[in-house]
């Protein structure tokens, strides 16, 4: 890595599932192996930019610039602005929770959530990452990955694909994902949150390339088997509306 990549790598210390709120110089030195002089130089640059801040006896934390950028994303992101009205309507209609997710590396990141019920609470909140191999919101993105990216991902995680029910080979996985694409939506029960069913459809850009997914989460007790397809078709229709809005923007 060059020096800029190493400096930005400091920010990766704050994105683990442990939700570390502060990291000390000693912890950075131990985990990254950078010299202390290099660490201080990188930290000064990131602190001056507002990406990190520090408190005595606590350590370094994400800085105020991160909060400012988050606000700008929530209010100005074209995808979120296009999806929000549709998500609000869908959540209210089916008394569930709608999620807008985007692919992030070989994971999926929730970027917006709307709730139409107090009966359930999704643990998949804005800013949380999940595997591409679990949950309807993730699988509807996985099904549309370009072939070369799917091949690379499978090569790095063949055992995880098998454990998630995609078979032993890349050919097996492609066959299952092809069926999901042809249907236009994906549903899973209790895959991420127990007691709920997730239904998701892809959100595409103007070139029909995958941007993310729109998903609806509803309690299992509220879902009748005969209505699953009807609800799924509605989710797919709403995802299509978002895709068309993005294509025209």
CATH code: domain of residue 219? 3.30.450.40
Whether 109 and 207 share a structural domain: yes
Q: What is the pLDDT of residue 104?
A: 87
What is the rounded distance in angstroms from the CA atom of residue 203 to the CA atom of residue 141? 8
Whether 236 and 167 share a structural domain: yes
CATH of the domain at 40: 1.10.10.10
What's CA 212's distance to the chain center, in Å? 8
Q: Count CA atoms within 13 Å of residue 14 on its CB side.
A: 17
Whether 43 and 91 share a structural domain: no
Q: What is the block-wise mean pLDDT of the chain (249 residues), using blocks of 10 residues?
A: 88 70 90 92 96 91 93 91 96 94 90 87 79 94 95 96 95 95 91 83 92 93 76 96 91
Q: What is the pLDDT of residue 105?
A: 82
Could you tell me if residue 98 is inside a domain?
A: yes
Q: pTM score, two decimals?
A: 0.84
Determine phi and psi for 157, rounding to 5 degrees.
-140, 40
Q: What is the pLDDT of residue 154?
A: 96
Could you tell me if residue 71 is inside a domain?
A: no
Whether 97 and 47 share a structural domain: no
Whether 117 and 204 share a structural domain: yes
Out of 66, 91, 112, a domain closes at 66
Total domains, the chain:
2
Whether 8 and 110 share a structural domain: no
* Interacting residues of 212 by C-beta distance below 8 A, sequence separation 6+: 79, 100, 101, 102, 103, 108, 111, 141, 202, 203
Whether 240 and 169 share a structural domain: yes
| Residue ranges making up the domain that contains 53 | 3-66
Out of 14, 42, 66, a domain closes at 66
Whether 48 and 88 share a structural domain: no
Out of 31, 66, 101, a domain closes at 66
Whether 57 and 84 share a structural domain: no
Whether 203 and 243 share a structural domain: yes
Beta-ladder partners of 204: 210
């Amino acid at each position: 890595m060059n020096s800029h990549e190493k400096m930005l790598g400091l920010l990766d210390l704050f994105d683990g599932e442990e939700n570390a709120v502060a990291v000390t110089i000693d912890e950075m030195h131990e985990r990254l192996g950078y010299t202390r002089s290099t660490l201080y130089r990188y930290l000064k640059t990131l602190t001056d930019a507002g990406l990190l801040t520090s408190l005595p006896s606590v350590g370094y934390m994400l800085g105020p610039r991160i909060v400012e950028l988050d606000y700008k994303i929530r209010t100005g992101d074209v995808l979120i602005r296009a999806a929000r009205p549709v998500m609000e309507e869908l959540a209210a209609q089916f008394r569930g929770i709608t999620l807008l997710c985007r692919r992030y590396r070989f994971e999926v990141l929730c970027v917006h959530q709307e709730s139409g019920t107090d009966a359930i609470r999704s643990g998949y909140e804005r800013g949380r990452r999940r595997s591409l191999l679990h949950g309807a919101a993730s699988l509807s993105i996985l099904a549309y990955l370009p072939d070369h990216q799917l091949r690379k991902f499978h090569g790095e995680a063949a055992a995880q694909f098998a454990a998630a029910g995609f078979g032993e080979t890349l050919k097996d996985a492609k066959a299952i994902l092809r069926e999901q694409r042809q249907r236009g939506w994906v549903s899973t029960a209790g895959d991420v949150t127990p007691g709920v069913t997730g239904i998701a459809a892809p959100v595409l850009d103007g070139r029909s390339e995958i941007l993310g997914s729109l998903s609806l989460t509803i309690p299992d007790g509220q879902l009748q088997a005969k209505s699953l397809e009807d609800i799924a078709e509605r989710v797919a229709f709403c995802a299509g509306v978002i895709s068309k809005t993005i294509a025209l923007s």
